[in-house]
Amino acid sequence: MKKNSVTFRFLVSLLVAFTVMVSLKLLLDFRKELKRTKASMGFVPTEFDLRDIGWSTDARAQNWGTCWIFSTFSSLESNLLVNKNWKKSGEKGPVDLSEYHMDKFNSFTRAGHDSHRKNDWYSGQGGNFPGGNHDDINTGAIVHLGGDYRMAASILTTNRGAVQERLTPTIKSNSDHSVFGDKPWEGVLFENNYTYFVPSDIEFLTLQGTIKAKREAIKRAIVQYGAVASAQHMDDDPIGISDDKEEIHMYRGDKKVNHAISLIGWDDDFEFKEHRGAWLVKDSDHKDEKTKKHIGHFWVLYDDVHVGKDAYMGGVSFRGVKKREYDYVYTHSFHGWRYNTNKNSEIKEVGNLFKVNRDERIHSIGVYTTRSNVDVSLKIYSEVKGILLGKENASFTYPGFHRVKLKKPIKVSKGKTFFVTQNNSNGVYAFESSFTLDVLLSELPKWGEPVDINSKASKNESFYFDGNKWIDFSSYKNQKSKQVKNRHAASSDSANITLNVYTVK
């Protein structure tokens, strides 16, 4: 009888313990779901951490100079967790996109050279690498050696999109050149039955506004859409250690940004010496100076001169990320947004003329706005001065890329042309021309030296309307927008409007 009594008490204890554990889990799940609900409604608290609600993927260590892709994909992955579009696509594993697929297959890299390959983080790929800048293969970024968020925006909106990490080989070290591969059919493969993931909007939150306005815009984007891409001037040595044992960083000098990071939260009440407030950072490259191990997260004080402030690299939100809905892309601008036309110039409207490769339907149009609060009017014609086929209107709060889906797809026939026009309420338009890239973390050819990326435009592609007639845009010159004349440019003054069209079969 005594033995049975002991067994009974033991079973009751187990039941009580189990009940307590279940209750605690339910309570934690409830709190997490409550935070998610508040976030989705745009509630901005004084402190926030995407990890608390499962909206941030793990910090991964990069190889070579690929931080700009890691931070971009951190934002893409986070948004896929927020909107649940990863599972909706049919993927069952953890959200994980392939940084090295974008690294290898983009439209910005130059052809490789034997002198590029070195067994360190700043290695290029060597003489067999074909490069992707087909406008001028002898200029462009060196593969593995840095980029910026306008490059990422262009790649994600003109190439096929981001693909699953599980379908690409793992790059384990800086010397894994053979694993990466030279050709499209080697190592990281161009084609491998991928699902392509693309954003609907890429918003540059820090291009305009006060420091406080930029900070609040980033916070709202984090709680509603997930991690925001940013950048810092990187210094491995922290200025302190926080109460939660994380490093504290802050740069107050005059050097440019040189490292891309991801903002996944903040704490307005964070205090360090005379400084108050800090961003929570997810990172792919910082290392502990003693152990040399990768540090995945740390704090950056609000008073840092770059983080959350730099115009084009301070805060970029990639949102509306989902499995690609379109089949083909029409563009004349594989290098995307680099310059702006002059405000109050003779340009009243812009347009791109395309020729159809097969029987298709126009699904959506990709536009850029260069300032805040811009209304956009889009029209589709059979040709320049042709028959109106359809039109759409849209309004955008933040500058950047926006994909406008047509209410009704427009059929276009193989061999025919169509002409898409864009009218912005602020009278300013984004365009592409040859440029120099500053954010290049490279010792090839020299540390900190800008690299030429040349573009080439042909006549009868892009046009602008001066109020009376449509004029070819390819020879457009705009000194006020600081359009450069590269010393090695194959077509230094040529330009194309950054206006893309997406079609389905």
Structure confidence at residue 267 (pLDDT): 98
Q: Are residues 357 and 392 in the same domain?
A: yes
Does residue 351 sit in the same domain as residue 495? yes
Q: Are residue 27 and residue 72 in the same domain, yes or no?
A: no
The one-letter amino acid code at 63 reads N
Residue 316's beta-bridge partner residues?
204, 229
Q: Does any domain span residue 18?
A: yes
Hey, is 495 helix, strand or coil? coil
* Counted domains in the chain: 4
Mark which of 318, 342, 358 sits at the end of a domain: 318
Count CB neighbours of 387 within 10 A. Answer: 9
In a domain, 357, yes or no: yes
DSSP strand pairing (430-432 vs 496-497): antiparallel
Beta strands in 35-190 (DSSP E): 47-49
Answer yes or no: is 50 within a domain: no
Distance separating alpha carbons of residues 361 and 503, to the nearest angstrom: 5
Does one domain contain both 196 and 145?
Answer: yes
Using the 3D structure, point to which of 263, 285, 318 is the last residue of a domain.
318
Computed from CA positions of residues 358, 362, 364, 365, in that sequence, does the dihedral angle turn out positive or negative?
positive
The β-bridge partners of 403 are: 366
Is 55 part of any domain? no
Domain limits for position 300:
204-318
Per-residue model confidence (pLDDT) at position 491: 43
| CB-CB contact of 93 with 165 (8 Å) | no
β-pair partners for 81? none
Are residues 339 and 299 located together in one domain of the fold?
A: no
Pairing status of strand 275-282 against strand 297-301: antiparallel
Looking at the DSSP bridge assignments, the partners of residue 227 are none
Residue 24: per-residue pLDDT = 59
Q: Which H, E and C letters describe 353-418, residue by residue? A: EEECCCCEEEEEEEEEECCCCEEEEEEEECCCCCCEEEEEEEEECCCEEEEEEEEEEEEECCCCEE
The dihedral through the CA atoms of 362, 459, 370, 376 has a sign that is negative
What's the confidence (pLDDT) of residue 485?
47
Tell how strand 349-355 and strand 417-424 pair up: antiparallel
d(CA 38, CA 32): 10
Q: What is the pLDDT of residue 377?
A: 98
For residue 10, give every residue at least 6 positions away whose Cβ sits within 8 Å of its Cβ, in sequence order, or none.
Answer: none
Sign of CA dihedral 130, 133, 137, 139: negative
Rg (CA), the chain: 25
- Is 422 inside a domain boundary? yes
Residue 269 shares a structural domain with residue 353:
no
- 365 with 490, same domain? yes
Q: Is the same domain home to 465 and 352?
A: yes
Q: 278: which strand partners?
A: 267, 301
Q: Output the DSSP codes for 265-313.
A: EEEEEEEETTEEEEEEEE-SS-B-TTT--B--EEEEETT-SSTTT-TTT
Q: What is the pLDDT along the chain (505 residues), one digit of tens a residue?
A: 455 666 767 677 777 766 766 655 555 554 555 555 556 566 799 999 999 999 999 999 999 999 999 999 999 999 999 999 999 999 999 999 999 999 999 999 999 988 888 888 778 898 999 999 999 898 899 999 889 999 999 999 999 999 999 999 999 999 999 999 999 999 999 999 999 999 999 999 999 999 999 999 999 999 999 999 999 998 878 999 999 999 999 999 998 899 999 999 999 999 999 999 999 999 999 887 778 788 899 999 999 999 999 999 999 999 999 999 999 999 999 999 998 988 878 899 999 999 999 999 999 999 999 999 999 999 999 999 999 999 999 999 999 999 999 999 999 999 999 999 999 999 999 999 888 887 555 556 565 567 888 888 889 999 999 999 999 998 786 544 454 444 434 444 578 999 999 999 9
Contact 246, 297 (CB under 8 A): yes
The confidence score (pLDDT) of residue 477 equals 66
DSSP per-residue codes, 465-492: E-SS-EEE-TT---GGGT----TT-SST
As a whole number of angstroms, the distance between CA 69 and CA 188 comes to 15
Domain identity same for 385 and 486 = yes
The answer to whether residue 48 is domain-embedded is no
Phi, psi of 148 (to 5 degrees): -145, 180
* CA 89 – CA 74 distance, rounded (Å): 18
Are 279 and 395 in a shared domain? no
Residue type (1 letter), 445: P
Give a yes or no: residue 47 inside a domain: no
Asked, for residue 110, whether it belongs to a domain, the answer is yes
CB 411 within 8 Å of CB 361: yes
CB contact at 8 A, 123 and 154: no
> Residue 444: its pLDDT value, please?
60
Measure the CA dihedral 284/285/289/294, to 10°: 40
pLDDT at 14: 73
Element (H, E) at 259: strand 259-272
The domain boundary, picked from 284, 318, 352, lies at: 318
My answer on whether 462 and 335 are in the same domain is yes
CATH code for the domain in which residue 388 is found: 2.60.120.820
Check residue 383 and give its pLDDT. 94
Q: What integer pLDDT is reported at residue 26 of this predicted model?
A: 55
CA distance readout (Å), 269 to 39, 45, 266, 278, 302: 19, 11, 9, 8, 11
